[in-house]
Structure 1
Amino acid sequence: MEKVRARFEVLDERFARVGGDDWMERVFADGRWTEGPAYVPAGRYLVFSDIPNDRVLRWDETTGAVGVLRQPADYANGRTLDRLGRLVNCEQGTRRVTRVEHDGSLTVLADRYRGGRFNSPNDVVEHSDGSIWFTDPSYGIDSDYEGNRADPELDGCHVYRIDPGGDVERVADDFERPNGLAFSADEGTLYIGDSRRKHIRRFTVTGGRALSGGEVFASCDAGTFDGLRLDTEGRIWAAAHDGLHCFAPDATLLGKLHVPEVTSNLVFGGPRRNFLFITATSSVYALKVNVNGVRYPR
């Protein structure tokens, strides 16, 4: 297993206490564009996508082996683990959000809004009330590279909420390319990245279903932002072109974890959620850190 030096760049003294392994382990290195990491604690494995190759892979923590979990995979992108340990997937090829049941069967949670098919669901989170929130940019229909080229059936790229009863509502409609999203630990705040505008916005969540605010929280100084996660100290970790950017709740850029490839997403895993798994262009990296990820959902 190849190892790469882990370089934490301190930009604010509050980041000086953040660190971890001196080396990142490159646990996978044969992708075209890796994305959608989700850690399954019950099985001690990581699931992730290799979108252009239309496959979902699994890395086994106990053996280090990587195998194909699903291919073809409908150009699956982001995913999350719900409260019952089921994987919820954004499928760019079929333009829908699905859930893998415990018996392996697939349930379609949503594939359209008011009669029009989604563009290409990208990333997803679950609220503690059981609702599913996801972003819907157009990357999967813009070309045949990571989906199927098609004309859009909706009036733009928006953010949606699937009610536990199955109803779909649009919760934000002023993005160009909504991408990564993450709730704060108390679920009172939702952070959403706009990869076209190269920034992250911060919304107040009311009643578990309505968003207000939406001011720009942080702008990217290296490419654009992609996937987002929070740690238990309220810091926001965002994938960017030079690695992971770490922001304080007051929006100060505290520091960066540099990665030798363009990063797409991240997830905290392991029994204590203190292993950081990073998807980055052709590879997946892992390192143990001295911070803990927020437990999702609560």
Structure 2
Amino acid sequence: MPIRISLQCTVAAFMIVLLNGAGIVADDAGTPVFDPGAEPQMLQTTGAGEGPAWHPELGLLTSGDGHIMRRSIDGERTVWIEGAGSNGLLFDRQGRLVICEPVGRRVSRIESDGTRTVLAETFEGMRFNQPNDVTIDSKGRIYFSDPKYGDRQTMELVDAEGHKVEGVYRIDSDGSVSRVITHEVDRPNGLIVTPDDRYLFVADNNNNTIGGARKLWRFELQEDGTVKPDSQTLIHDWGATRGPDGMKLDSLGRLYVAAGLNRQNPPYETQHKPTAGIYVFSPEGKLLEFAPIPRDECTNCAFGGDDLRTLYVTAGGTLWSIRTAVPGYVLWPTDDE
């Protein structure tokens, strides 16, 4: 039976602002990012640490408190999978839930009949670090990031020279696993493939090392699902604050990235102004708008609601929502399903 958890909701009025000094430009297409006057609204104070994923019948799933939590359409909260040890969650084109399990050090999938299939747990005989986030291309190939935060003594993955690897991997339809990024980024976190399979965006978030990367990168993908050599392009650098985490795309191809920190965390994060929130970039990589979230840490986001125009945001275990001007891009369900 699911565990019932009481819901404590508060509402905070934080107006959307533009960071005029941070190189933000107007959307070339003239389409607003958020609804006029929209403000982030707090929906719950616990249970929403990471990995939001929308299901039109279940509601919103999140990774929180060691479980996969469910927030139903009417706002009721339950534990959906107890002790899941999950992070990134994503429904594939068949409506199956793909799960990154940093605790279990693997990637798995909940099938249509409710059973679980392990998709990947080793590479070249070595266990993964902490599978973090997941994205799927148009061919159904699964890409996931595998950073290592905290104690690094349990790391097994090394390259041919014996150097520890925090990489990005691809799972093909036949179950084979390939490494697509080895040392091109410092510590990969959130990631997403564009609908045309042209680009792979990767959040590089080494937030517990002085001078570690806090950058968003774009890579060109080739037909075989590998990264095109020398295509790495810097989209944004968060400098002295917390770097980028989870991200999603809207129906116009604009990128919504959870990032930043509101308080200093010396000696690693030493920014002077609050920076936590959702950063929205154009398909060309221009910073369009910023929606501040007044709770640390801002970890991920997902589109949901009947019209897919509600952006759900996880931040420090809390859950927020904000209305967007256009629907989000989701793999499932689509209009023809």
TM-score norm. by structure 2 comes to: 0.80
Shift of 1:127: 1.4
Who is 1:64 aligned against?
75
Q: Helix, strand or coil for the counterpart of 1:295?
A: coil
Q: Distance in 1 between matches of 2:257 and 2:319?
A: 16
1:235 maps to which of 254, 259, 265: 254
Shift of 1:25: 3.1
Shift of 1:295: 2.6
Who is 2:280 aligned against?
246
Does structure 2 retain, via aligned residues, the 8 Å contact 1:80–1:124? yes
Q: Distance in 2 between matches of 1:268 and 1:253?
A: 19
Q: Distance in 2 between matches of 1:34 and 1:267?
A: 13
Change (3 A) 1:133 1:163: same
Question: 1:23-50: per-residue Cα shift (whole Å, max 9, x none)?
Answer: 433222124x700010012x15000011
Residue correspondence of structure 1 range 81-230 to structure 2 within 5 A: 81-139=91-149, 142-143=150-151, 151-155=154-158, 156-174=165-183, 175-196=185-206, 197-212=213-228, 213-220=231-238, 222-230=241-249
Does structure 2 retain, via aligned residues, the 8 Å contact 1:129–1:208? no
Does structure 2 retain, via aligned residues, the 8 Å contact 1:5–1:22? no
1:3 maps to which of 8, 11, 14: 11
Shift of 1:91: 0.4
1:12 maps to which of 25, 31, 54: 25
- The code of the aligned residue for 2:128 comes to F
Q: Distance in 1 between matches of 2:305 and 2:224?
A: 28
Question: 1:220-253: per-residue Cα shift (whole Å, max 9, x none)?
Answer: 2542110011112222111012101111223221
Q: Distance in 2 between matches of 1:137 and 1:104?
A: 28
In our comparison, the structure showing a higher alpha carbon Rg is: 2
Question: 1:72-121: per-residue Cα shift (whole Å, max 9, x none)?
Answer: 11x20001100110100000111000001122111000000010000010
Q: Distance in 2 between matches of 1:150 and 1:272?
A: 46
Q: Distance in 1 between matches of 2:298 and 2:59?
A: 20
- The code of the aligned residue for 2:242 comes to G
Shift of 1:150: 5.2
Q: Distance in 2 between matches of 1:230 and 1:136?
A: 21
Residue correspondence of structure 1 range 281-292 to structure 2 within 5 A: 281-292=316-327
Q: Distance in 1 between matches of 2:306 and 2:173?
A: 28
Does structure 2 retain, via aligned residues, the 8 Å contact 1:131–1:163? yes
Q: Distance in 2 between matches of 1:190 and 1:237?
A: 14
1:78 maps to which of 79, 82, 88: 88
Does structure 2 retain, via aligned residues, the 8 Å contact 1:44–1:270? no
What percentage of aligned pairs have identical amino acids? 33
- After the TM superposition, list the runs of 4 or more consecutive aligned residues in structure 1 that deviate by more than 4 angstroms: none
Change (3 A) 1:208 1:27: farther
Who is 1:268 aligned against?
303
Gaps of 5+ in 2: 1-8, 19-23, 159-164, 207-212, 261-275
TM-score norm. by structure 1 comes to: 0.90
Q: Helix, strand or coil for the counterpart of 2:46?
A: coil
- The code of the aligned residue for 1:164 comes to S
Question: 1:152-206: per-residue Cα shift (whole Å, max 9, x none)?
Answer: 1102100000011100000011222101001123221110111011011111111
Change (3 A) 1:223 1:100: same
CA root-mean-square deviation: 1.9
Who is 1:146 aligned against?
none
